[in-house]
Amino acid sequence: MGKKYYQEDIECAPREEISKWQSEGLVRSVRNAYENSEYYRGKMEERGVKPSDVKGVEDIHKLPFVSKEDLREAYPYGLLCRPLSECVRIQSTSGTTGRRVIAFYTQHDIDAWEECCARAIVAAGGTRDDVVQVSYGYGLFTGGAGLNGGSHKLGSLTLPMSSGSTERQIQFMQDLGTTILCCTPSYAAYLGETVSEKGLKGTIKLKAGIFGAEAWSEEMRRDIEEKLGIKAYDIYGLTELEGPGVGYECEEQRGMHICEDQFIAEIIDPNTGETMPDGEKGELVFTSLNKEAFPMIRYRTRDICVLSHEKCSCGRTHVRMAKPMGRSDDMLIIKGVNVFPSQIETVLINNGYSPNYQLVVDRVNNADTLDINVEMNQEMFSDTLSEISARERALVGALKGFLGIYARVHLVSPKSIERSEGKAKRVIDKRKLY
């Protein structure tokens, strides 16, 4: 048996102690940003705030927000607060929606990040006796580097597989007795599908998976757990903040504990910027407490979720965040209704379909249209045409009931939707092409 916590004194600290760390960290972080980044100093001056106005966590609302636009504007060095000679690493976002975000790390920043990832692995039941297969992409993406570092810190045997080469992934799981798998949920679903189709579930020793970097539903979690015979844990993070490990699930699997010794989490009303009371849904905002090279002060994540200070049975005292419904970037507005791909995924899995689908949004005669391509499984595929259209009608009804909008459903043959080895491409929004 390993330890139940990686850093018990931190993870289970009394709330008063956490507040003290947060107040001290905020003061330090604000000073670091103001003194070392002209961009931060400009933003604070514009708002009329000086570091001396921030004496503790209760003053956080005085500070201006940092948005993704700020990161783009300040690219590449505007928010950097240490000389490059003190930095040891750069990581970056994929840059699929505009200019890349580049984050800088000192060795101290890397160590703190990897400790957060080690906590996540231990919370998923990991010990130094585990074999951890990291099947996130390596390179500039933080997924591979973060979990790799966390696994090293813990002392587990680490397999830096990176993503892709599915056959080889499964071969290594079998030959080396992998017990913990780390990758995106869509890749875990694909690995699960392959393992289950080839009847290999009995030949692998996986017990847990740590899956993050994209929004996924509870239904998808159950699907992955069943196909791989594991417990599947969520992990949260952003390159802007460090990478994965900002928040992680414990054995309760009811929300992710945020590393509150490293970050202050707030929920704000995305329209007004006002702080929301505990338990209300809104946009998640983070402030880093200890980052040297790339501090983030009130960074707006665009993730919509809820925080809970309810006591957790695992003993950890850090606040929990609910699974985000998705980035507000991922949110589609169709005929005035907010739709997240993860909601559609919920309906599909509840109705017996696989999490392989694609949404096509378009505008025809000034009205939005939503078409959903959904894969049938093998049994459905052998149905007659009239049975297939009956299935389509049933799914249209289920989606209308859940989302409140009409979507055309097209059932397509098994395996016809491309599988993803990283983040899945679920949405084609043709409205953006005009």
Q: Single out the residue of 250, 296, 349, 407 in contact with Zn ion (rule: CB under 5 A).
A: 250
Q: Single out the residue of 82, 316, 318, 423 in contact with Zn ion (rule: CB under 5 A).
A: 316
Kindly tell me which of 316 and 323 has the beta carbon lying closer to Zn ion.
316
Residue 73 as a binder of Zn ion (CB under 5 A): the answer is: no
CA–CA gap between residue 375 and residue 357 (Å, rounded): 6
Kindly tell me which of 43 and 316 has the beta carbon lying closer to Zn ion.
316
Cβ 158 to Zn ion shortest distance, Å: 25
Helix (H) or strand (E) holding 69: helix 68-73
* Contacting Zn ion within 398-427 (CB under 5 A): none
With H, G, I as helix, E, B as strand and everything else as coil, classify residue 87: strand
Cβ 219 to Zn ion shortest distance, Å: 22
Residue spans of beta strands (DSSP E) within 150-309: 157-159, 180-183, 208-212, 231-238, 243-249, 256-258, 263-268, 282-288, 299-305, 307-308
Buried-exposed string 93-118: b where 16+ CB fall within 10 A, e elsewhere: beeeeeeebbbbbbeebbebbbbbbb
Residue 252 as a binder of Zn ion (CB under 5 A): the answer is: yes
Residue 269 as a binder of Zn ion (CB under 5 A): the answer is: no
Residue 13 as a binder of Zn ion (CB under 5 A): the answer is: no
Contact region with Zn ion (CB under 5 A), list: 218-226, 265-273, 312-320, 425-433:
312-320
Q: Considering CB under 5 A, how many residues would be counted as binding Zn ion?
A: 5
* Contacting Zn ion within 96-115 (CB under 5 A): none
Cβ 394 to Zn ion shortest distance, Å: 38
Residue 267 as a binder of Zn ion (CB under 5 A): the answer is: no
Are the C-beta atoms of residues 146 and 114 closer than 8 Å to each other?
yes
Instruction: Report how far apart, in Å, the C-alpha atoms of 378 and of each of 189, 251, 381, 413, 414 are.
Output: 17, 34, 5, 8, 6
Cβ 314 to Zn ion shortest distance, Å: 3
Kindly tell me which of 4 and 89 has the beta carbon lying closer to Zn ion.
4
Contact region with Zn ion (CB under 5 A), list: 21-29, 187-195, 250-258, 275-283:
250-258
Contact region with Zn ion (CB under 5 A), list: 56-64, 242-250, 338-346, 372-380:
242-250
Residue 310 as a binder of Zn ion (CB under 5 A): the answer is: no
Are the C-beta atoms of residues 47 and 63 closer than 8 Å to each other?
yes
Cβ 253 to Zn ion shortest distance, Å: 9
Residue 173 as a binder of Zn ion (CB under 5 A): the answer is: no
With H, G, I as helix, E, B as strand and everything else as coil, classify residue 159: strand
Among 280, 259, 256, smallest CA distance to 270 is for 280
Contacts 24+ apart (CB under 8 A), 94-101: 94/141, 94/423, 97/329, 98/72, 99/72, 99/75, 100/75, 101/68, 101/71, 101/72, 101/75, 101/239, 101/240
Question: To 5 degrees, how large is the angle CA 121–CA 168–CA 195?
Answer: 75
Cβ 226 to Zn ion shortest distance, Å: 23
Report residue 409: phi and psi, to 5°. Answer: -110, 135
Burial classification of residue 289, based on how many CB atoms lie within 10 Å of its CB (0-12 exposed, 13-18 middle, 19 or more buried): buried
Contact region with Zn ion (CB under 5 A), list: 41-49, 104-112, 243-251, 410-418:
243-251
Q: Single out the residue of 44, 122, 180, 314 in contact with Zn ion (rule: CB under 5 A).
A: 314
Provide the token pair at 172: 């290594």
Residue 312 as a binder of Zn ion (CB under 5 A): the answer is: yes
Contact region with Zn ion (CB under 5 A), list: 124-132, 251-259, 292-300, 340-348:
251-259
Provide the token pair at 327: 């980035």
Kindly tell me which of 58 and 252 has the beta carbon lying closer to Zn ion.
252
Q: Which residues bind Zn ion (CB under 5 A)?
A: 250, 252, 312, 314, 316
